[in-house]
Structure 1
Amino acid sequence: MDAEQNSIATYYQLINITYDVDIIEVLGFLGQRETTIYKRFLETLMNVYDPEESKHTF
């Protein structure tokens, strides 16, 4: 889980130091992808530990 958070932080730090619109767009996409992966992982983890109270939000 820590790897995803580090990736997200790195992408947004790189966005802050570049002015190239194409690079910003790609880094933004990668950041959103990592955020989605992280959320899905947490949902799956919660399903494993407490399947009765988990909410299926797909």
Structure 2
Amino acid sequence: MELNIAVDFEDYFPSMMERLGAEGFIGELCNGFRLLMDGQRGLITFESLKKNSVILG
């Protein structure tokens, strides 16, 4: 049995850049990394991804 799954991908970065400006966009990216990182190590680790993705839903 062969599965043909098509995935549409829409790149929202250009519209976010336009709306937020360069500094605002970089700030939002940094906020996202902070949400996912291990606060003690200052890195996004596999463990921090598992823990924080459960918290974030």
TM bucket (normalised to shorter chain) is: 0.3 to 0.5
Identify the structure with the greater helix proportion: 1
Task: Between the two structures, name the one with larger relative contact order (CA 8 Å, sep ≥ 6).
Answer: 1
Q: TM-score, normalised to structure 1's length?
A: 0.34
